[in-house]
């Protein structure tokens, strides 16, 4: 199989994955790329759809990187002011049991920056997940800091290792961990970007983890 054919196959598979996902209007998104590096372009009405498109591309075998060049363009009848978006975010934070009360959002031309502190990585991720579904949001930058409860280094290693072993779609033997004071580094190899992200989520969820540097290599 030639490299050109391989690139074509990967692009076609990404397009098929976009069409398969009911949350995505694949007709709005163009797929290009070479050597496993995929570029998504086009426009969608909601940031959540842009997010879903990137995740869909990452699931495809052979994809090693995804460049997100998709634009968020609301229909003219649905254009919103930053103040309206900020009000919706503030209401969401007040009503959510998973997002810390100290989280604040700055909105500029539809681009949201989240700041505050969380004790757990899931709180950090939940804030971002919830905000990206708000109409008018174009992008989300999560600048929240994680200040977890103290945990012993051995406990962190053990819990991350156990979490990765529980993941049915990961081969724990191909992944190993190093960490210092809660800063975790993931090493090894997996077969897709989706598996790489799964390992990162597992590590980030362990008590005591402050950051995760994902150095896992993709080897289809």
Instruction: Kindly state the percentage of the chain with pLDDT values over 70.
Output: 95
What pLDDT was estimated at residue 12?
A: 95
- Is 177 within 8 Å of 187 (Cβ atoms)? yes
The domains located in the chain, with CATH, are: 3-72 (3.30.1340.30), 77-146 (3.30.1340), 153-218 (3.30.1340.30)
| Confidence (pLDDT) at 165 | 85
Q: What is the pLDDT of residue 152?
A: 67
Q: Is 1 helix (H, G, I), strand (E, B) or coil?
A: coil
Q: What is the predicted pLDDT for the residue at 123? A: 85
Whether the predicted pLDDT of 2 surpasses 70: no
Separation of alpha carbons 5 and 191, rounded Å = 20
pLDDT at site 186:
94
Of 21-30, 75-84, 179-188, highest mean pLDDT: 21-30
């Amino acid at each position: 199989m030639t490299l050109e054919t391989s690139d074509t196959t990967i692009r076609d598979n990404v397009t098929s994955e976009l069409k398969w996902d009911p949350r995505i209007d694949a007709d709005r998104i163009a797929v290009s790329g070479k050597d496993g590096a995929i570029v998504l372009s086009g426009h969608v009405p909601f940031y959540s759809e842009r997010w879903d498109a990137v995740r869909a591309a990452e699931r495809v075998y052979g994809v090693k990187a995804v460049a997100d060049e998709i634009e968020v363009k609301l229909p003219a009848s649905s254009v919103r002011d930053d103040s309206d978006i900020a009000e919706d975010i503030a209401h969401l934070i007040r009503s959510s049991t998973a997002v810390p009360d100290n989280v604040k959002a700055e909105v500029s031309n539809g681009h949201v920056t989240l700041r505050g502190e969380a004790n757990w990585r899931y709180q950090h991720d939940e804030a971002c997940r919830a905000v990206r579904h708000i109409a008018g949001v174009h992008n989300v930058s999560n600048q929240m800091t994680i200040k977890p409860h103290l945990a012993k280094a051995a406990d962190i290693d053990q819990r991350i290792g156990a979490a990765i072993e529980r993941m049915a779609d990961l081969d724990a033997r191909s992944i190993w961990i190093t960490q210092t004071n809660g800063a975790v580094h993931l090493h090894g190899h997996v077969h897709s970007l989706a598996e790489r992200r799964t390992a990162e989520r597992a590590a980030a969820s362990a008590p005591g983890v402050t950051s995760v540097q994902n150095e896992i290599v993709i080897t289809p």
